[in-house]
Structure 1
Amino acid sequence: MPPISISLPSHIRQQSPKTSSVTVTSVPVASPTTPNLCSFCSQIDFSLLRYPTTTDLQSLNDGHPAPQDLSPFKKNPYAKVEPTWSLGLLSRVHESASSCTLCHAICTVLDQQPQARANIAEMGMKDPLVLGTIALCGRLSAPEGTAWYAYDEKYGRPLERDCFFLRRLGLLFRPADEDEDVEMPGMASKVECWFSMMDSFQTMNTAIPRGFEQETKKVLMGDEEDPDTVWFAGRKRPEMVDVGLIKQWLGECLEHHKDVCGISEEVDEDDDPDLVEQMRRLSKPIPLFRLIDVHKKCIVTKYNLYDVDMSALKFASLSYVWGVTPQKLTLLTQNQYDLQRPNALVGKVSKTIWDAIHLTEQLGLKYLWVDALCIIQDSDDDKVMQLGNMANVYAHSLFTIIAASGDDCNNGLPGIHTPRTAIQEVIPVIAPSDTSPGMSLITALSPTHQSHEHPTRKTVWASRGWTLQERALSRRAIVFMNNHVLWSCSRSHYSEESNCETSSLGTMAWFGLQESDPILSSSERTWYTEDLPEEQVWYKFQRLVQDYSSRNLKFQGDAHDAFSAVVEQVRRMTGENFLWGMPSGRFELCLCWEPFRRGLKRREELSTLEMTTFRRHVPFPSWSWLGWSGSIFLKVQDKELEVGLNPKVVCFVLRNHPLRVIPVRRISVDNDPERANSWAIPHVTDSKYAVTLEDIYEHLPSLTPQILLEIPDDQLLFFWTETARFKLSELKKQGPSILPDNPVHVREYTKYYREILDEEGEVVGRTHPCDPDDDCTGVDEQDGGDGDGDGKCEFIRIANNYLPFCEPEKLVMQVRRGRGKGNGNGGGGGGEEWKRDVRYRVNLAEIKKEAWKGVRVGRVLVALG
């Protein structure tokens, strides 16, 4: 049969102004089941992409060993690395697209991913070599209470098997080597890439019968009774969202996941009576918990925030991007009563909010929580109380609707009122026979840049600071991508484009969903840390901090507030109190946090909302990771101690009214003496570490009682330590160790640092990554940074870093002194000269133990601001 000409939609034909692309306008079709592949594509071993059928899974569940000759049960026959085939130059793929169905589908994928094409062009790859790689995408396990067996060649008998792995077809792009034969099909001689699009194609089914598009229910839901149903494979999704599928996901979770997705005691608002009492004292009017009534299309304000039982309310919440486009309507002091009238929201709210109202109503709920309409936007008092309640809102909502498509609040939820237009091509790759049903692939709708990367990772929604805690605290999430919908709860992850809705036959852990989904309450154990409940929580918290610190904030002063709900949830899960985003029981370990890959910039803005007992807009301390902009790595897990990091300071924090210094480890006792288990929190009685007010007056004489009484709570740390001074080299540059010609890799992985020099100019250490645009020496050109004028920088020891098989080092903090002024308006009439007795963090560094011992000064009392 000759090729059939099919005109692509205009949005597919349109060329990107930044890239060049050959758009193919005809789809080669021989028959619905016969492969039509070129000489390159036909070399791929598509049998590795086979997914299990109902018959396979039932056989495993009945105790029969897994067949060794069928994927996903057989071992990778090629090597330990993922098998990869050359598909020739991209120009060849375009030329072959008129006759090869897979080449045509590759062109469609690129046309529908303009950002990917832009990235390829940015790297200077005008005609890259294209590789097809069959990579792991998920872990298939037996249903709870069932054991699976596979034949083990080593023992010559069936043994219990933890899991099997499923694969998808991804695309790799790199420049061809000068001596490389790009015209030769077959397995790639060098598996290396500059840019990747993983999970581009997935198994759809065995040979697709004619007219399958009309079998909507079967395509969407699958059939556990049909022995030929292929599970966890791709499927066509309709233009408009099938709300019945979302209802199925929600219903399954409500019925079967109560043990992990229900409300736990740790997140009940009654668990925090001190917060409630504090809010009572701070507020004059009675604060209200507001919701949108999706039936009456108005705001409901009949719930007292102190008394409402959120666990009894059935409401949804919305997580979305406000963007630069102004909201059409927000709740303000002047309109709060007008918006309580029925139909007050009709035709007045932004499109995303309106679609969320419609979806909530379709799913059978009465109430929806949206920040723009449930928090009075021009009232700081209301914001303080409502933000303090954010952990409860998202943890208690029945589900959260996540609008991960688009870049503002007027994008809407694709598939609710606006059809989704992305093309899904079906590609027969194995012909049916008397012994085999054949196989087809289908275009995936959210290819990712890297394996195990979440589909939302590159969205605008995932780049915003506020949205992280909204996802992390939600028990259930309905995620709207541009062209399909995802579901995730504490136990299951589903996709509208994959046939996943079975738990009785087997369970699937998608690497791109579970391992990268920032959800605190997930029952899915991560494989990257110990299988202990508390360590699992700290690992997740560490990842959340790293993710959050790399995100964007429209207002830098929101840095504390936009993460406060995560901190509150972790406090409830672990019992730890926090000080500026760092757990008090692990505080000295967390003080060793470091930049992740790149340098950081100091946040100079004050907090957006008033804080501390002074009710002021306060600075972010330099010692907290919240005081810096840029991605950081928080050292909070026990394994940091196990590998040789040993903190050598004990920190005390300044608090006011009455004036006092207390150990950070005991702030829970100070916060609420009656409720704290003070017997379980060690006292600091060793005079070597203890800090008193008298010590401060003696060793830091400018910090008088009058001065300290004017400094807000939790700003200054005090601890005894050693100090030393060293010179720093000029800025050094370290490029990436792999793919040094890739401009994107060079930009992303290049590090800037300074070497630490002794008196003879010998290198005795190095700093952590620096921001090349900032002066990160800590030396003031006029006075040396601390008045000595010797051009050296001051370092204070905070830990010993004795890694196995490495020379012992001191982990030190590079600091600078405050720039005090003699005629300022500081407290006590003494100006700001006291700031010269306060040190501020600049960076961390490692210095060789012997070099430190040679120049260190005796123990000093440090005030760290």
Structure 2
Amino acid sequence: MPPTSISLPSHVARPSSTKTSSVTVTSIPSPDTEPNLCSFCSQIDFSLLRYPTTTDLLSLNNGSPASQDLSPFKRNPYARVEPTWSLGLLSRIHKSSASCDLCHALCTVLDQQPQIRATLTEMGVQDPLVLGTLALCGRLSAPDGTSWFEHDDKHGGLKERDCFFLRRLGLLFRPADKDEDVNEPGMPQKIESWYSTMDIFQTMNTAFSRGSAEDKKGVLMGDEENPETVWFAGRKRPEMIDIGLIKQWLNECLENHKDVCGISEEVDEDDDPELVEQMRRLGKPIPLFRLIDVHKRCIVTKYNLYDVDMSALKFASLSYVWGVTPQKLTLLIENEYELQRPNSLVGKVSKTISDAIHLTEQLGLQYLWVDALCIIQNSDDDKVMQLGNIANVYAHSLFTIMAAAGDDSNFGLPGIRTPRDTVQEVVPVIGPSQNNPGMSLITALSPTHQSHEHPTRKTIWASRGWTLQERALSRRAIVIMKSHVLWSCSRSHYSEESCCETATLGSLAWFGLQESDPILNSSERTWYTEDVPEEQVWYKFQRLVQDYSNRNLKFQGDALDAFSAVVEQVRRMTGENFLWGMPSGRFELCLCWEPYRRGLKRREELSTLEMTSFKRHVPFPTWSWLGWSGAICLKVQDRELEVGLNPKVVCFVLRNHPLRVFPVRRISVDNDPERANSWAIPNINDSKYTVTLDDIYDNLPSMTPEVLLDIPDDQLIFFWTESARFKLSELKVQGPSVLQENPLQVKEYTKYYREIIDDDAQVVGRTHPCDPTAQDIGEDDKGDGKCEFIRIANNYLPFCEPEKLAMQVRRGTGKYNRDVRYRVNLAEIKKEAWKQVYEKRVLVALG
């Protein structure tokens, strides 16, 4: 099925050509203004911050070689590290702010970012040495079908150039060394950072200040007909959001990105046409697909959830933070019909929702989907059905409004009905000359702690578990931040603060936007894995799991539900079935998941919603990454096998009614015989791997038929493997290899682990990172201080001694689960040490 094309109503298709006074730039210094810089700031080579003009890009596109005398086309004349200059102590910058425009602007930025000073003070640094660094921020490439060239210094002639790089000014902070001359301007000998703030200043498009904004067509968007337009450079953003700018972004995507931003065949999968009839026969209520009518300000419930053609609907969706403060209004069983009355929402909904309704209406759409008002909040039955449909909601919505500002639903959307107050400083840094128009810098509105970090990363919105799948599944996102607006789709990433709206002159991939944006519904390839469609999907899924597992959930029992839409979408894209967040066809490989840097805590809560045919709130299995709290690294890509990780178990899962066990890799056979997946390593049919009910009864005596019949589906997996017992050392600490005096580095990179000790008191392996607060290290009940390990895989990495990847386990303590083992951690154990002590081949029931 080809991608579905979507067009806006005629009154939305084009942004208004009328410019409001709020868009007019009035406070930009004249391009003839001379720089007013101190002896420190004047040392910075600001020419490296030069951005290309229309003339530059037209010349490149016409086949002329890049000018090696001008940035961004000339090679970095400095060392391999980013060009960096000393700005002196922070106290010096404050003193200089009265006479130096850049020092004054830096102080303004620091005042608007109080967490910088607070973090440095926390680290014991009261008066840090400040370094200005010109860090790479984006990759500039030729338009599709065009090649760029540069002079070949080595062989002569011309050679093709893939891309050029743009820079922004960032700040590094560290204590000054005792023998360091902090009063000496220039490039320091020691470039090191305890704390950094990147993307502080960007090049200003000085062409914007020449003439009236009302008289210059496209001045806010950039003018391809103006040879002096500086592309991808900064611009003043108005106090109120210019809706025409968002309309242009949206219209460009709808007109030109149908191949990558349209609804894919996987997303537009048809539901079972017999399902509704079957529900009617059973007397079950038919779930409704509800929307907010932004014109009538009420809930619309005329759509059947399983019959509605979402691809034909034009609606927006909202992603936001509920927060601790209660919502002003939610949909409940008792008010469902009341909220269908026109104007029933007026003045009653939380401010973020109210602003989203207003924005949706301004953009010309009639409908908006918001979870609080489109899912009945006190009905588990409705929640189960609606959560199963969330992948469709975000994938089919024309765009998603991401409310990335504030910490609850009452914060609102800055710039929609409330002015934004962040000050943008403009600083001339290069004076004009006969052949040089000069250069000014402007405050960037998305400073980040690290290079290549997404601007939303430190927001409350980006720390919440539920918001990840909302972003990952959305085809288009309008991200409303406190100070400005971002746009992202599968093809383009724009910012209200930068002039990037050109596709014909060149394209810029912002490192902090494209390469850190967790988009799943994108046909654009990532550069971090091979260009094979399925591997691209698995790489994105692995990244999403790592991001999600490090986020916060208000209710820990939501762990599966808040990620279920991602799982459902990956199922559609790959054909894989999933078991507790792990693809069945790669299950044994995924069983090798490991903590990312730090130890994990066991998730003890039961599922929020009732699950399985038993309709119970069930525990999260320890073998699934969903059963743990903390960042994890999932092993799911083929390259894990290629580098030497070889799973040596075949897992079977227990299900009821009728009582049965069958290979996890063939869940699709149990769910749908026509979608069987036979991918298997090693051979499932090999008798030494097969698990039957009789094997369970013979080897695990407490697991009688009566006990098994009371265990919910998908809680227990079974497999044959080897078991061995070792002692564990006291807790060991592995600190960062460098910068150990940096408190942030120590906190971020310190790992806690235990060594594995054999009977000869020799160290034969080590565990993966441990939770240092855990009191019980998992010793078994045999009284000799040993712990049990079971082999999961062989780990034969190149140039390394062969190892066994083993899972540390512990036994259950109850009458009916004493034969069930539970995961504690993973460990690498030397192959020879394992061969000497492993006791026997055992049947494992892992819960």
- Provide the TM-score with structure 2 as the length reference: 0.94
Q: State how 1:249-648 maps to structure 2 within 5 Å.
A: 249-270=249-270, 284-648=284-648
Partner of residue 835, structure 1? 817
Percent identical residues: 81
1:733 is the counterpart of 2:715: no
1:861 is the counterpart of 2:843: yes
Q: State how 1:78-97 maps to structure 2 within 5 Å.
A: 78-97=78-97
Residues 350 and 32 of structure 1: CA distance in aligned 2, closer, same or farther (over 3 Å): farther
Kindly provide the amino acid, as one letter, of the partner of residue 411 in structure 1.
F
1:41/1:102 contact within 8 Å kept: yes
Alpha-carbon displacement from aligned partner over 1:755-800 (angstroms, at most 9, x marks no partner): 1111121111111111111135112xxxxx3x42222100000011
1:852 is the counterpart of 2:834: yes
2:585/2:677 contact within 8 Å kept: no
Residues 202 and 31 of structure 1: CA distance in aligned 2, closer, same or farther (over 3 Å): closer
Partner of residue 129, structure 1? 129
Residues 282 and 239 of structure 1: CA distance in aligned 2, closer, same or farther (over 3 Å): farther
Partner of residue 13, structure 1? none
Partner of residue 235, structure 2? 235
1:234/1:499 contact within 8 Å kept: yes
Residues 294 and 346 of structure 1: CA distance in aligned 2, closer, same or farther (over 3 Å): same
Kindly provide the amino acid, as one letter, of the partner of residue 632 in structure 1.
I
1:33/1:209 contact within 8 Å kept: no
Q: Within 2, Cα distance between the matches of 1:276 and 1:112?
A: 55
2:233/2:498 contact within 8 Å kept: yes
Of the three residues 809, 814, 821, the one matched with 2:808 is 814
Q: Within 2, Cα distance between the matches of 1:196 and 1:283?
A: 61
Question: How big is the shift at 1:744?
Answer: 2.0
SS in 2 for 1:330: coil
Question: How big is the shift at 1:240?
Answer: 0.2
Kindly provide the amino acid, as one letter, of the partner of residue 837 in structure 2.
V
Identify which of structures 1 and 2 has the higher relative contact order when contacts are C-alpha pairs closer than 8 Å and 6+ apart: 2
Q: Within 2, Cα distance between the matches of 1:279 and 1:33?
A: 73
SS in 2 for 1:159: strand
Q: Within 2, Cα distance between the matches of 1:460 and 1:403?
A: 10
1:199 is the counterpart of 2:181: no
Question: How big is the shift at 1:413?
Answer: 0.3
Partner of residue 18, structure 2? none
Kindly provide the amino acid, as one letter, of the partner of residue 708 in structure 1.
L
Residues 690 and 247 of structure 1: CA distance in aligned 2, closer, same or farther (over 3 Å): same
Question: How big is the shift at 1:270?
Answer: 0.4
2:32/2:431 contact within 8 Å kept: no
Question: How big is the shift at 1:748?
Answer: 1.9
Q: Within 2, Cα distance between the matches of 1:616 and 1:440?
A: 63
Kindly provide the amino acid, as one letter, of the partner of residue 604 in structure 1.
E
Residues 361 and 544 of structure 1: CA distance in aligned 2, closer, same or farther (over 3 Å): same
Question: How big is the shift at 1:32?
Answer: 5.7
Alpha-carbon displacement from aligned partner over 1:109-129 (angstroms, at most 9, x marks no partner): 111111222112111110001
Q: Within 2, Cα distance between the matches of 1:151 and 1:28?
A: 37
Kindly provide the amino acid, as one letter, of the partner of residue 849 in structure 1.
K
* Ranges in structure 1 where 5+ consecutive residues have no aligned partner: 1-26, 780-784, 821-832
Residues 424 and 347 of structure 1: CA distance in aligned 2, closer, same or farther (over 3 Å): same
1:360/1:366 contact within 8 Å kept: yes
Partner of residue 10, structure 1? none
Question: How big is the shift at 1:155?
Answer: 2.2
2:317/2:397 contact within 8 Å kept: yes
Question: How big is the shift at 1:719?
Answer: 0.5
Alpha-carbon displacement from aligned partner over 1:791-839 (angstroms, at most 9, x marks no partner): 210000001111111111111000000011xxxxxxxxxxxx2311000
Question: How big is the shift at 1:681?
Answer: 6.9
Residues 717 and 549 of structure 1: CA distance in aligned 2, closer, same or farther (over 3 Å): same
1:207/1:440 contact within 8 Å kept: no
Question: How big is the shift at 1:207?
Answer: 7.1
2:31/2:432 contact within 8 Å kept: no
Residues 688 and 383 of structure 1: CA distance in aligned 2, closer, same or farther (over 3 Å): same
Partner of residue 654, structure 1? 654
Calculate the aligned-residue CA RMSD, in Å: 1.9
Q: Within 1, Cα distance between the matches of 2:750 and 2:812?
A: 31
2:298/2:342 contact within 8 Å kept: yes
Partner of residue 7, structure 2? none
Partner of residue 676, structure 1? 675
Kindly provide the amino acid, as one letter, of the partner of residue 121 in structure 1.
T
Question: How big is the shift at 1:521?
Answer: 2.1
The number of equivalent residue pairs is 820
Question: How big is the shift at 1:167?
Answer: 0.8
Q: Within 2, Cα distance between the matches of 1:376 and 1:228?
A: 55
Of the three residues 775, 786, 809, the one matched with 1:792 is 786
- Provide the TM-score with structure 1 as the length reference: 0.93
Of the three residues 796, 805, 822, the one matched with 2:799 is 805
Kindly provide the amino acid, as one letter, of the partner of residue 509 in structure 1.
A
Kindly provide the amino acid, as one letter, of the partner of residue 835 in structure 2.
K
Residues 44 and 207 of structure 1: CA distance in aligned 2, closer, same or farther (over 3 Å): farther
Q: Within 1, Cα distance between the matches of 2:637 and 2:678?
A: 24
SS in 2 for 1:814: strand
2:331/2:374 contact within 8 Å kept: yes
Partner of residue 180, structure 2? 180
Q: Within 1, Cα distance between the matches of 2:272 and 2:47?
A: 56
Q: Within 1, Cα distance between the matches of 2:196 and 2:281?
A: 55
